[in-house]
C-alpha cells in the first residue's frame, strides 16, 4: 500500500505493517520502529510535519496541540485530531492531547496517558510556540512573559515530565526548538529571541546531566513557511520554505545515532550547524587589572586562532585558573 502525507514524502507499508521507506528513490535508513514520540505544537506547521514523518518511519506519536491561535489565544482539538486521523488512516498509531505546555499539571497528564498506552517515552520534540511581536519599547511585560512561559517553561515542563522515564529506561532523545532570532537577534522579537536563547542554555546543561543515561539533547533552528511566519514572508517565499525540509533535518537529531548538543539550522533546503566558541584570551596580572589594560589587550583577547567550544561552564574557570598559575610560576623562576 502506498500513500502520501505531504508534497515530498512517499511511504510504503508492507503486509506486516513494517514500513518500507522510500524517498526520491533512496532507501530510508533512519527508523523509529518501536519508539514512542511526543511532539508538542503538532496540529499545524512544523509540528504537524514532524509528527507525520516520525509516524511514517514507525514511531507511535502523541500529537500535542492546544489548538490556539498564533498569539496563544483560544483552544481547539480539531487540528491535532486531524493529524491523528491521518496517521491512523495510513497504518500508524497516534493519540492526541491538548495540554497547554505552560501548565505542568496538564503536561504530566499527557505523559501519564502516553505511559498508560505505550509504557515508554523515547523522543520529545519541544516544538510548541507562540508569537507576540512588537518592538521592546512598545511591548508589554505580559506579552514578554507569555512568550517566555510557552517557549521556555513549556520546554522545561515537557522535559521534566519525561526526564525520569528516560533516565530509568536509559534512553532518551530530546529536541529543543531554537531560532536565529535567539542566536543573532531580530527586530521586534526581544521576547521570542530571549526565549529561544534560553532553551539552548537548558540544552547545554541537560546534555551534561543526561549523558550517563544515554539521553541526548539537540536543538533545531528552523526557517519555514508556517502559520507562525505567514505574515513575515511573501507567499512565493513561504512555498520555498516548506516545513518538510526542516523536518528532514529534525529527524537526524532524535534517532539512535543522533548527535549530542548539536544546533542544526534548516530551511528551504539549506542546512548548517551553529556553535558557540570562546577565544583563548589573555591573562592580566592583578596590579594591572583595570579597564585601560583590558582594552589594550583587546586584540589578544579577541584573537580567534585558538578559539574552542567549551564542554561546560567549568572549563572556562579551569582555563583562567591555568593562566593565573602559569603566570605565578613564571614569576618564581
Q: Among all residues, which ones are annotated catalytic?
A: 192
CA-based Rg of the chain, rounded to a whole angstrom?
A: 22
The CA dihedral of 63, 124, 127, 41, to the nearest 10 degrees, is: 20
CA distance 23 to 254: 19
Nine-digit cell string for 128 = 510548541
Looking up cell 539552548 gives: 200
- Alpha helix segments (H runs only) across 187-296: 190-210, 235-240, 243-250, 291-296
3-class DSSP state of 64: strand
Q: Rounded to an integer, what is the distance from CA 230 to the centroid of its chain?
A: 21
Q: Give CA–CA dist 234/230, Å, rounded.
A: 8
CA distances from 265 to 29, 122, 289, 318 (A): 22, 23, 40, 31
265 has which bridge partners?
221, 272
In angstroms, the CA 307 to CA 296 distance is 20
Span between the terminal Cα atoms of the chain, in Å: 79
Centroid of chain to Cα 179: 9
Report the distance separating Cα 97 and Cα 81, nearest Å.
Answer: 9
Measured at the CA of 244, the angle between CA 248 and CA 166, to 5 degrees, comes to 50
Q: Is 182 left (phi over 0), alpha (psi -120 to 50) or beta?
A: alpha
Chain CA centroid to CA 185, Å: 17
Amino acid at each position: 500500500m502506498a500513500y502520501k502525507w505531504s508534497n515530498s514524502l512517499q511511504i510504503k507499508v508492507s503486509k506486516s505493517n513494517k514500513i518500507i521507506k522510500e524517498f526520491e528513490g533512496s532507501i530510508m535508513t533512519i527508523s523509529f520502529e518501536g519508539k514512542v514520540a511526543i511532539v508538542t505544537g503538532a496540529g499545524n506547521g512544523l509540528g504537524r510535519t514532524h509528527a507525520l514523518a516520525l509516524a511514517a518511519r514507525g514511531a507511535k506519536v502523541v500529537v500535542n496541540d492546544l489548538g490556539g491561535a498564533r498569539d496563544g489565544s483560544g483552544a481547539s482539538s480539531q487540528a491535532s485530531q486531524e493529524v491523528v486521523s491521518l496517521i491512523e488512516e495510513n497504518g500508524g498509531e497516534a493519540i492526541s492531547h491538548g495540554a497547554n505546555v505552560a501548565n505542568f499539571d496538564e503536561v504530566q497528564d499527557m505523559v501519564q496517558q502516553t505511559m498508560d498506552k505505550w509504557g515508554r517515552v523515547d523522543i520529545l520534540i519541544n516544538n510548541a510556540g507562540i508569537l507576540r511581536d512588537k518592538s521592546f519599547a512598545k511591548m508589554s511585560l505580559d506579552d514578554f512573559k507569555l512568550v517566555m512561559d510557552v517557549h521556555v517553561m513549556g520546554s522545561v515542563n515537557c522535559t521534566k515530565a519525561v526526564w525520569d522515564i528516560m533516565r530509568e529506561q536509559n534512553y532518551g532523545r530530546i529536541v529543543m526548538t531554537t531560532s536565529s532570532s535567539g542566536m543573532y537577534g531580530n527586530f521586534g522579537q526581544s521576547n521570542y529571541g530571549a526565549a529561544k536563547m534560553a532553551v539552548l542554555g537548558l540544552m547545554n546543561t541537560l546534555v551534561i546531566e543526561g549523558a550517563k543515561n544515554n539521553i541526548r539533547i539537540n536543538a533545531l533552528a528552523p526557517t519555514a513557511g508556517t502559520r507562525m511566519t505567514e505574515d513575515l514572508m511573501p507567499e512565493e517565499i513561504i512555498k520555498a520554505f516548506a516545513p518538510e525540509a526542516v523536518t528532514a533535518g529534525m529527524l537526524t537529531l532524535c534517532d539512535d545515532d543522533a548527535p549530542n548538543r548539536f544546533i542544526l539550522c534548516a530551511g528551504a533546503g539549506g542546512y548548517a550547524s551553529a556553535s558557540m566558541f570562546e577565544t583563548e584570551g589573555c591573562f592580566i596580572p592583578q596590579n594591572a587589572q583595570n579597564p585601560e589594560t583590558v582594552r589594550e589587550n583587546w586584540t589578544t583577547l579577541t584573537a580567534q586562532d585558538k578559539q574552542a567550544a567549551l564542554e561546560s561552564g567549568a572549563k572556562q574557570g579551569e582555563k583562567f585558573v591555568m593562566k593565573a598559575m602559569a603566570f605565578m610560576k613564571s614569576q618564581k623562576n
